[in-house]
Amino acid sequence: MKEEYILSGKIVQLMKKGVKIPNPYSVEVGEEVNINRISSSGIVLHSGTRIYGKKTLIAFGTTLGYEAPATIVNCQIGSRVELKGGFFKESVFLNKSNMAGGAQVRGGCLLEEEANGSHTVGLKQTILFPFVTLGSLVNFCDCFMAGGTSRKNHSEVGSSYIHFNYTPNQDKATASLIGDVPGGVMLNQPPIFLGGQGGLIGPARIGYGTVIAAGTVYRGNCPEGGKLLSGSKDETREKKFYPGFYADIRNKVYNNICYLANLLALKQWYAYVRLPFFQVQEFGDELYEGAVEKLEMAIEERLKRFETLSEKMEMSIEIGRKILKGKTGEKALRQQKEFLANWQDIKECFTEKTEETCALKERDSFLQIIREKLKEDEENYIKVIQSLGIDTSSTGSAWLQAIVDRITDNALNVVPSFKL
C-alpha cells in the first residue's frame, strides 16, 4: 500500500492492467493520459519513459525506451512497435515499425508497417511506406518515401543523409516525392536507394528503382526511375545572391502540386482500402483516426507552405524587374506573376474534393476484390496487398493515378505556363 501511495496513480493503474514497468519510479505518465487507450497486453515501459497527451494510444506488444529515455506526446502507436529512445510527438507508428535511440519524430509523421530508422534520425511531416529503412544520423523532414516489397527488399536512406527542406529565402515549399502513392501502395515496386553521406534538394520527384550514389547531393528530378544518379550537375561557382529573389519557379510549383495530389490520393486509399483492416485490430478505429489526422496535417502543412511561397513572389517580381533580362527573364517574371495572381484558384483544386469522384469504376472493382479477401478471414493488410494479382493491382493503381492526374491537371490549367 505504501508503494501505491508513493507511485503516481496512473502508473499503479497501468501495472494493475498488466503493463510491464521494470522501474516504475522512473516512468512518468501525464494525468491527461487515458489509460483505456493503452493495451494491457505485452507492453513494456523501460526506465525514463514519459507519456503525455490525451490522444496518446499504445497497442499491444509495444516496447518504449529500451535503448534510452523515450518521450511520447499524443502519438498513436500500433502493435509490436519499438520506439527505443528519443522524442516522438503527434505521429503515428503502425504495426512493427521501429525507431532506434536518439530519434526526434515531430508532428505530422506517419510510419507504416515495418518502416524503421536507426539511431539519431530526425523526422517531421514525413510519410514512410512499409519496409522503408533509414540509416543513422539522418535528417529526413518533409518527405514521402515508398518502394520495395519486404524487409529484405526495401527502399533505404543511407547514414548521414539530409533532405534539404529549407531555402535561403526562408521557405519550406520543398517536400519531396520519393516514389509515389499509386504505385507505392501496392508494395510491388522496385526499391529506391539514397546513398549515405549525401543529400536531396527539395522539392524533388524520384522514381522507383532509382539509386543516388553515396556522397551525392542531388539537385534534380528523376520521376521515371531506374537510373543511377551520381556526382553534381553544377560545379562550385560564385555569383551575386539577391535575398528574396526566385528565378525559375516552375520546378517548385509543379512538384508541390504533385505532392499534394498524391496526399489526396493516399487519403482516399485510407478511407476505402485501409479502414476495414484497422477495424479488425485492437484500437483500430483510433489508429485509423490518428492516421487520417496526420494526412490532414500533411495536406494543411503543404498548402500553408505553398501559399507562403506565392506570397514571396511579390518581392521576387520587384527584384526581378531590376536584374532579369532577355526572354528567359521575361518568362520567369511571367510565371511568378501568374502564380501570385492565381494562388486562390490553385488552392481550390486541393480543397474541392475532386478526389472523391475520380475513377469510381476502377475504385469499386478494386474494392470488391479487397472485400472478398476480408471474407476469407484474411485480415493482414500486408499479406492481402501482396497477394493481389497484377490485373487487380493495376486497377487499384489506375484509380489512384486518376486522382493524381485529375488534381494535377486542374491545378496546372490555372497556371498553364507551368506545364512540363
Residues 308-320 have pLDDT tens digits of 999 999 999 999 9
**Max alpha carbon distance in the chain (Å)?**
84
Reported as a pLDDT band with limits 50, 70 and 90, residue 419 is confident
Q: What is the mean pLDDT of the chain?
A: 95
Nearest CA to 63 out of 42, 87, 91, 48 is that of 42
Residue 98, phi then psi, degrees to nearest 5: -160, 155
* pLDDT value for 5: 55
For residue 319, give the 3-state DSSP assignment. helix
pLDDT tens-digit map of 369-415: 999 998 887 789 999 999 999 999 999 999 999 999 999 999 999 99
Contacts by residues 391-398 (CB-CB < 8 Å, ≥ 24 positions apart) = 392/366, 393/186, 393/188, 395/362, 395/365, 395/366, 396/185, 396/186, 396/273, 396/362, 396/366, 397/182, 397/183, 397/185, 397/186, 398/182, 398/359, 398/362
* pLDDT value for 237: 78
pLDDT tens-digit map of 121-175: 999 999 999 999 999 999 999 999 999 999 999 999 999 999 999 999 999 999 9
Reported as a pLDDT band with limits 50, 70 and 90, residue 232 is low
Check whether 1 has a pLDDT greater than 50: no
| Percent residues over pLDDT 70 in the chain | 98
Please name the residue that has the C-alpha cell 486541393.
350
Check whether 65 has a pLDDT greater than 50: yes
* pLDDT value for 218: 97
CA distances from 295 to 71, 94, 325, 415 (A): 22, 14, 42, 26
Which is higher by pLDDT, 231 or 388?
388
* pLDDT value for 420: 74
Check whether 203 has a pLDDT greater than 50: yes
Which is higher by pLDDT, 117 or 232?
117
* pLDDT value for 235: 63
Reported as a pLDDT band with limits 50, 70 and 90, residue 239 is confident
Check whether 3 has a pLDDT greater than 80: no
| Percent residues over pLDDT 90 in the chain | 93
Which is higher by pLDDT, 164 or 8?
164
Reported as a pLDDT band with limits 50, 70 and 90, residue 234 is low
